[in-house]
């Protein structure tokens, strides 16, 4: 596993936990939301550099994306 993959897994864990806590949803729902988001897609593109950002920053991006979807 590369360092970037490890960082992304840790970020995914943190963001999913934040979704569960702040939105009061199940882990499965949170995983579904995050894995199907543009934010997650960008996190997995090393050229975006998003993997260097904090989990809180990435969660904020996800929240904005969710709000724009509705």
What would you report as the CA-atom Rg of the chain, rounded to the nearest whole angstrom?
11
| Mean of pLDDT values over 20-24 | 97
Q: pLDDT tens for residues 29-40?
A: 999 999 999 999
Closest Cα partner for 19 from 65, 51, 62?
62
The total of structural domains in the chain comes to 1
- Residue 54: φ, ψ to 5°: -75, 160
Domain that holds residue 54: 3-69
70 has a pLDDT exceeding 80: no
pTM of the predicted structure, to 2 decimals: 0.93
Q: How far apart are CA 31 and CA 54, in angstroms?
A: 18
């Amino acid at each position: 596993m590369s360092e970037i993959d490890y960082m992304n897994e840790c970020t995914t864990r943190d963001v999913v936990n934040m979704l569960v806590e702040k939105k009061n949803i199940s882990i499965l729902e949170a995983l579904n939301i995050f894995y199907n988001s543009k934010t997650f897609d960008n996190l997995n593109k090393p050229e975006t550099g998003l993997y260097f950002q904090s989990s809180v920053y990435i969660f904020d991006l996800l929240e904005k994306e969710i709000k724009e979807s509705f």
